[in-house]
């Protein structure tokens, strides 16, 4: 095995040769990079060769096994690769639910055939995936889902509706939870199924939110025929797969907020700066005492949360089990983001009421829609109420 520094110089050399200079430090679009798929969108023309070269070298999924298109890197090497990307301000060659969600799931639960079929296409960015979990009548109580999968020989015939299927309108395949046994206990009759969205009977429509357009879609299945071989893990055992994936998703959500909050701590007082602009105050104490105290409270919340995330990570780095504090990340991060976005609108005052121009600038409209969008943070990915139930039960040991 080469030493880690050998690896660093190898990968550096490869990056110097293959990564287009043109994309260093570019502003990524709303979705944040290459998502691949049959109908890819490029934030920059050179994002395409970047994906292709990285895929060829296994660097779209650096730590996946080489046999499935990954890079076969060990954790230390993967970290070096990330560091070298960051140092060059290079975007990831590929992102999306394939890499983040279904890929790891297949690596853990998939059959050999499934891995050989799907993982290389994910690594090459050929197939874009989306997730089909929630249904109109199954939100917090996900296990009550009713999308039917009726057996017909070597096929399931799938009928039902999935909601909150992000980017379904741009995706090629969907991994979905379906009810394969209506007579079993609710968690025990569910199958985790891979469905080609090009199949007859699949239709997708976007879901506009109170904040405007969104990646969310409603995806309907009307007698869609899916090979039984597309069930991941055992038939009727999909809940096990789903739970593993859900836990993963919740951590991701907390991470997103957690990291960004942490960074904020060191960036001065952006809220106070915003207030100075709207209150016309250059220096000294902010003239609106009530706003000033709310800003301070919000900053204290952010900082206390950031320190708690840090405490958890420091403990993890030191090899400790995750402490009870990690159970609060999702609920606190999302509730805090709601309060913060609401406070930003209040700071803007009347200028915070705009839906679109004229009379409101781009930043104001983004801020106001950001506040509206944030209302959903405490609903998606496990409601705050469910999070509090979990804390009460698992951490505090309170009885049912």
Partner 1 sequence: MQLILTEDQELLAKTAADFAAERSPVSRMRQLRDRKDPDGFSRALWKEMAELGWLGIPFPESVGGAGMGLAELAVVLEALGRKLAPEPVLPCVLLAGQALLLGGSDAQKSRWLPPLVAGEKLIALGFQEPRSRYDLRRVATKAERAGEGWRLAGEKIQVEAGASADAIIVSARTAGAERDAAGITLFLVPRDAKGLEIVRQHRIDSRNAALVKLAGVTVTAADVVGTLGAGGDLLESVVDRATVGLCAEMLGSMSEAFERTLDYMKQRIQFGVPIGSFQALKHRAAACFIEIELARSTVMAAARAVDAGDAEAAKLVSLAKARCSDAGVLVGNESVQLHGGIGMTDEHEIGFYLKRARVAEMTFGDAAFHRDRWARLSGY
Nearest CB to partner 1, comparing residues 26 and 307: 307
Examine residue 168 and tell whether it contacts partner 1 (CB under 8 A): no
Stretch that binds its own copies, among 263-271, 285-293, 299-307, 333-341 (CB under 8 A): 285-293
* Residue 363 contacts which entry, partner 1, its own copies, none (Cβ below 5-8 A, type-dependent): none
Q: Which residue has the tokens 């230390």?
A: 76
Q: What is the DSSP letter of 283?
A: S
What is the three-class DSSP state of 288? coil
The active-site residue out of 249, 261, 335, 364 is 249
Which one of residues 58, 69, 98, 354 is an interface residue with partner 1 (CB under 8 A)? Answer: 354
Nearest CB to its own copies, comparing residues 130 and 286: 286
Smallest separation (angstroms) from partner 1 to the CB of 17: 39
Query: Interaction with partner 1 in 126-155: which residues (CB under 8 A)?
Result: 134, 136-141, 144
Examine residue 392 and tell whether it contacts partner 1 (CB under 8 A): yes
Residues counted in the chain: 400
Q: How far apart are CA 58 and CA 65, in angstroms?
A: 9
Nearest CB to its own copies, comparing residues 113 and 290: 290
249 has catalytic annotation:
yes
* Residue 153 contacts which entry, its own copies, partner 1, none (Cβ below 5-8 A, type-dependent): none
Q: Which residue has the tokens 């976007």?
A: 206
Task: Compute how many other C-beta atoms are within 10 angstroms of the C-beta atom of residue 100.
Answer: 15
Smallest separation (angstroms) from its own copies to the CB of 294: 10
- For residue 154 the two structure tokens come to 């070597």
Q: How far apart are CA 120 and CA 193, in angstroms?
A: 19
Q: Of 365, 336, 330, give the one whose Cα is nearest residue 351.
A: 365
Which residue pairs, CB below 8 angstroms and at least 24 apart, start in 202-209? 204/165, 204/168, 204/169, 205/169, 206/169, 207/163, 207/164, 209/372, 209/373, 209/376
Nearest CB to partner 1, comparing residues 53 and 369: 369
Q: Phi first, then psi: give them for residue 134, nearest 5 degrees.
A: -65, 155
Examine residue 383 and tell whether it contacts partner 1 (CB under 8 A): yes
Stretch that binds its own copies, among 34-42, 72-80, 289-297, 351-359 (CB under 8 A): 289-297
Examine residue 1 and tell whether it contacts its own copies (CB under 8 A): no
Q: How far apart are CA 23 and CA 27, in angstroms?
A: 9
Examine residue 198 and tell whether it contacts its own copies (CB under 8 A): no
Query: Interaction with partner 1 in 266-285: which residues (CB under 8 A)?
Result: 268-269, 272, 275-276, 278-280, 285
Examine residue 293 and tell whether it contacts its own copies (CB under 8 A): yes
- Answer for the pair 51, 95: CB distance below 8 angstroms, yes or no: no
Nearest CB to partner 1, comparing residues 112 and 400: 400
Draw the binding track, 105-124, toward partner 1 (x: CB under 8 A; -: no contact).
Answer: --------------------
Examine residue 92 and tell whether it contacts partner 1 (CB under 8 A): no
Which residue pairs, CB below 8 angstroms and at least 24 apart, start in 330-333? 330/250, 330/253, 330/254, 330/381, 330/382, 330/387, 331/378, 331/384, 331/387, 331/388, 331/391, 332/305, 332/308, 333/253, 333/254, 333/256, 333/257, 333/258, 333/261, 333/305, 333/377
Smallest separation (angstroms) from partner 1 to the CB of 276: 7
- Give the total of residues touching partner 1 (CB under 8 A): 87
Examine residue 311 and tell whether it contacts partner 1 (CB under 8 A): yes
Draw the binding track, 5-44, toward partner 1 (x: CB under 8 A; -: no contact).
Answer: ----------------------------------------
Which residues would be at the binding site for its own copies (CB under 8 A)?
289-290, 292-293
- For the annotated catalytic residues, the residue numbers are 249
């Amino acid at each position: 095995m080469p030493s880690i520094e050998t690896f660093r110089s190898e990968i550096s050399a490869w990056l110097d040769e293959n990564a287009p200079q043109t994309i260093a430090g570019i502003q990524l679009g709303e979705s944040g990079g290459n998502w691949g798929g049959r109908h890819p969108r490029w934030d920059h023309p050179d994002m395409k060769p970047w994906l292709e070269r990285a895929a060829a070298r296994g660097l779209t999924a650096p730590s996946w096994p080489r046999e499935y298109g990954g890079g076969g890197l060990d954790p230390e090497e993967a970290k070096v690769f990330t560091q070298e990307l960051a140092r060059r301000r290079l975007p990831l060659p590929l992102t999306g639910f394939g890499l983040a969600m279904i890929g790891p799931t297949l690596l853990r639960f998939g059959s050999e055939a499934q891995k050989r079929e799907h993982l290389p296409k994910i690594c090459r960015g050929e197939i874009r995936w989306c997730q089909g979990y929630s249904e109109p009548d199954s939100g917090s109580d996900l296990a009550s889902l009713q999308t039917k999968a009726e057996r017909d020989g070597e096929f399931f015939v799938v009928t039902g509706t999935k909601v909150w299927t992000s980017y379904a309108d741009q995706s090629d395949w969907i991994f979905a939870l379906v009810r394969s046994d209506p007579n079993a206990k609710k968690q025990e009759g569910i199958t985790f199924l891979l469905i080609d969205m090009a199949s007859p009977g699949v239709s997708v429509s976007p879901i506009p939110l109170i904040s405007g357009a969104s990646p969310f879609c409603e995806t309907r299945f009307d007698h869609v025929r899916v090979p039984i071989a597309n069930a991941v893990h055992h038939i009727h055992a999909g809940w096990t797969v789903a739970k593993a994936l859900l836990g993963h998703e919740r951590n991701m959500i907390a991470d997103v907020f957690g990291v960004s909050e942490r960074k904020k701590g060191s960036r001065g007082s952006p809220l106070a700066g915003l207030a100075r602009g709207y209150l016309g105050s250059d220096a000294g104490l902010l003239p609106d005492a009530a706003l000033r105290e709310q800003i301070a409270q919000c900053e204290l919340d952010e900082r206390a949360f950031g320190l708690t995330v840090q405490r958890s990570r420091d403990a993890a780095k030191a090899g400790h089990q995750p402490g009870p504090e990690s159970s609060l990340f999702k609920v606190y991060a999302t509730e805090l983001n709601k309060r913060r976005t609401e406070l930003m609108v209040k700071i803007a005052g009347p200028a915070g009421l705009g839906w679109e121009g004229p009379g409101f600038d781009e930043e104001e409209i983004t801020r106001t829609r950001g506040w509206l969008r944030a209302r959903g943070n405490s609903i998606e990915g496990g409601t705050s109420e469910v999070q509090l139930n979990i804390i009460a039960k698992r951490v505090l040991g309170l009885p049912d």
